[in-house]
Amino acid sequence: MNKSTKVIANNKKAFHDYFVEEKYEAGVELFGTEVKSIRAGGISLKGSWCAIENGELFVKGMHIAPYDRGNIFNKDPLRPKKLLVHRKEIIKIFSTVKQKSYSAIPLSVYFKGSRIKVSVGLCKGKKLYDKRHDIAEKTAKRMAERAVKELGNRTN
Protein backbone atom coordinates (compact mmCIF):
# COMPACT_ATOMS: atom_id res chain seq x y z
CA MET A 1 0.00 0.00 0.00
CA ASN A 2 1.37 3.39 -0.91
CA LYS A 3 1.10 6.68 0.94
CA SER A 4 -2.33 7.59 -0.49
CA THR A 5 -4.05 4.71 1.32
CA LYS A 6 -5.97 4.98 4.59
CA VAL A 7 -7.10 1.81 6.34
CA ILE A 8 -10.74 1.92 7.47
CA ALA A 9 -11.22 -1.55 8.96
CA ASN A 10 -9.11 -4.65 9.59
CA ASN A 11 -10.26 -8.23 10.06
CA LYS A 12 -8.05 -9.14 13.04
CA LYS A 13 -9.88 -12.42 13.55
CA ALA A 14 -8.83 -13.56 10.07
CA PHE A 15 -5.13 -13.25 10.93
CA HIS A 16 -5.76 -15.17 14.15
CA ASP A 17 -7.74 -18.01 12.56
CA TYR A 18 -6.01 -18.36 9.16
CA PHE A 19 -2.64 -18.45 7.42
CA VAL A 20 -2.81 -15.82 4.66
CA GLU A 21 -1.17 -17.31 1.56
CA GLU A 22 -2.01 -14.74 -1.12
CA LYS A 23 -3.64 -11.29 -1.24
CA TYR A 24 -5.76 -9.62 -3.91
CA GLU A 25 -7.01 -6.06 -4.18
CA ALA A 26 -10.64 -5.58 -5.19
CA GLY A 27 -12.99 -2.67 -5.67
CA VAL A 28 -16.45 -2.78 -4.11
CA GLU A 29 -19.80 -1.99 -5.69
CA LEU A 30 -21.49 0.33 -3.15
CA PHE A 31 -24.35 2.81 -2.99
CA GLY A 32 -23.95 6.45 -1.94
CA THR A 33 -25.26 6.10 1.60
CA GLU A 34 -22.98 3.09 2.16
CA VAL A 35 -19.93 5.12 1.12
CA LYS A 36 -20.94 7.93 3.51
CA SER A 37 -21.39 5.43 6.31
CA ILE A 38 -17.95 3.91 5.62
CA ARG A 39 -16.37 7.38 5.67
CA ALA A 40 -17.94 7.83 9.12
CA GLY A 41 -16.37 4.52 10.25
CA GLY A 42 -19.53 2.40 10.25
CA ILE A 43 -18.07 -0.84 8.88
CA SER A 44 -17.22 -4.21 10.40
CA LEU A 45 -15.48 -7.19 8.77
CA LYS A 46 -16.00 -9.54 11.70
CA GLY A 47 -17.34 -12.85 10.44
CA SER A 48 -17.25 -11.89 6.76
CA TRP A 49 -16.23 -14.17 3.90
CA CYS A 50 -16.12 -14.21 0.10
CA ALA A 51 -18.17 -16.42 -2.20
CA ILE A 52 -18.19 -16.92 -5.96
CA GLU A 53 -21.63 -16.98 -7.56
CA ASN A 54 -22.27 -17.04 -11.31
CA GLY A 55 -18.64 -16.17 -12.04
CA GLU A 56 -18.68 -13.07 -9.80
CA LEU A 57 -17.01 -12.55 -6.43
CA PHE A 58 -19.18 -11.36 -3.52
CA VAL A 59 -18.33 -10.48 0.06
CA LYS A 60 -20.91 -11.68 2.56
CA GLY A 61 -21.31 -10.86 6.22
CA MET A 62 -19.61 -7.46 5.90
CA HIS A 63 -21.70 -5.07 8.01
CA ILE A 64 -22.06 -1.48 6.84
CA ALA A 65 -24.11 0.50 9.34
CA PRO A 66 -27.08 2.42 7.92
CA TYR A 67 -26.22 6.06 7.27
CA ASP A 68 -27.94 8.14 9.96
CA ARG A 69 -29.03 10.88 7.54
CA GLY A 70 -30.00 8.54 4.71
CA ASN A 71 -33.72 7.88 4.72
CA ILE A 72 -35.24 5.53 2.15
CA PHE A 73 -31.94 5.16 0.30
CA ASN A 74 -30.29 3.10 3.07
CA LYS A 75 -29.61 -0.48 2.05
CA ASP A 76 -29.63 -3.67 4.11
CA PRO A 77 -26.46 -3.60 6.29
CA LEU A 78 -25.61 -7.25 5.58
CA ARG A 79 -26.48 -7.44 1.89
CA PRO A 80 -23.88 -9.22 -0.30
CA LYS A 81 -21.55 -6.69 -1.93
CA LYS A 82 -20.06 -7.40 -5.34
CA LEU A 83 -16.28 -7.24 -5.53
CA LEU A 84 -14.75 -5.87 -8.71
CA VAL A 85 -11.91 -8.20 -9.68
CA HIS A 86 -10.44 -9.24 -13.04
CA ARG A 87 -11.86 -12.44 -14.53
CA LYS A 88 -8.46 -14.20 -14.40
CA GLU A 89 -8.16 -13.48 -10.69
CA ILE A 90 -11.68 -14.81 -10.04
CA ILE A 91 -10.82 -18.03 -11.89
CA LYS A 92 -7.59 -18.39 -9.91
CA ILE A 93 -9.35 -17.79 -6.59
CA PHE A 94 -12.16 -20.19 -7.50
CA SER A 95 -9.82 -22.99 -8.53
CA THR A 96 -7.69 -22.60 -5.40
CA VAL A 97 -10.70 -22.55 -3.09
CA LYS A 98 -12.25 -25.64 -4.69
CA GLN A 99 -9.14 -27.79 -5.07
CA LYS A 100 -6.98 -27.00 -2.06
CA SER A 101 -9.64 -26.29 0.58
CA TYR A 102 -8.66 -22.66 1.02
CA SER A 103 -11.03 -19.85 2.00
CA ALA A 104 -11.36 -16.38 0.51
CA ILE A 105 -11.54 -13.92 3.41
CA PRO A 106 -11.68 -10.09 3.33
CA LEU A 107 -8.67 -8.87 5.33
CA SER A 108 -9.08 -5.11 5.29
CA VAL A 109 -11.05 -2.23 3.80
CA TYR A 110 -9.18 0.93 2.88
CA PHE A 111 -9.28 4.09 0.79
CA LYS A 112 -6.93 4.18 -2.17
CA GLY A 113 -7.17 7.75 -3.29
CA SER A 114 -10.91 8.39 -3.25
CA ARG A 115 -11.90 4.80 -3.98
CA ILE A 116 -12.78 2.12 -1.45
CA LYS A 117 -10.83 -1.12 -1.86
CA VAL A 118 -10.98 -4.50 -0.13
CA SER A 119 -7.95 -6.70 0.44
CA VAL A 120 -9.03 -10.33 -0.09
CA GLY A 121 -6.78 -13.10 1.14
CA LEU A 122 -6.58 -16.74 0.13
CA CYS A 123 -6.36 -18.32 3.56
CA LYS A 124 -5.80 -21.76 5.01
CA GLY A 125 -7.27 -22.51 8.44
CA LYS A 126 -5.01 -22.74 11.48
CA LYS A 127 -5.13 -25.61 13.92
CA LEU A 128 -5.39 -24.95 17.65
CA TYR A 129 -1.69 -25.64 18.22
CA ASP A 130 -0.79 -23.10 15.48
CA LYS A 131 -2.82 -20.44 17.30
CA ARG A 132 -1.09 -21.27 20.59
CA HIS A 133 2.31 -21.08 18.91
CA ASP A 134 1.51 -17.63 17.46
CA ILE A 135 0.34 -16.35 20.86
CA ALA A 136 3.52 -17.68 22.50
CA GLU A 137 5.69 -15.95 19.87
CA LYS A 138 3.89 -12.62 20.37
CA THR A 139 4.24 -12.88 24.15
CA ALA A 140 7.96 -13.68 23.90
CA LYS A 141 8.53 -10.77 21.50
CA ARG A 142 6.61 -8.39 23.76
CA MET A 143 8.61 -9.48 26.83
CA ALA A 144 11.92 -9.06 24.95
CA GLU A 145 10.94 -5.53 23.89
CA ARG A 146 10.06 -4.67 27.49
CA ALA A 147 13.39 -6.02 28.71
CA VAL A 148 15.33 -3.97 26.14
CA LYS A 149 13.34 -0.87 27.01
CA GLU A 150 13.91 -1.42 30.73
CA LEU A 151 17.65 -1.93 30.14
CA GLY A 152 17.77 1.30 28.15
CA ASN A 153 16.05 3.20 30.98
CA ARG A 154 18.57 1.91 33.56
CA THR A 155 21.59 3.13 31.61
CA ASN A 156 20.21 6.66 31.27
Domain regions of the chain by residue span: 5-125, 126-156
pLDDT at 124: 84
- 66 by Cβ neighbours in 10 Å (0-12 / 13-18 / 19+) ranks as middle
pLDDT 10s per residue in the chain (156 long)? 566 788 888 888 888 788 888 889 999 988 888 888 888 888 888 888 888 889 898 999 888 888 777 677 677 778 888 999 899 988 888 888 888 778 888 999 998 888 889 999 888 877 777 778 888 888 999 999 888 888 887 776
Kind and range of the H or E element at 99? helix 87-100
The top-level CATH class assigned to 5-125 is mainly beta
pTM of the full structure: 0.74
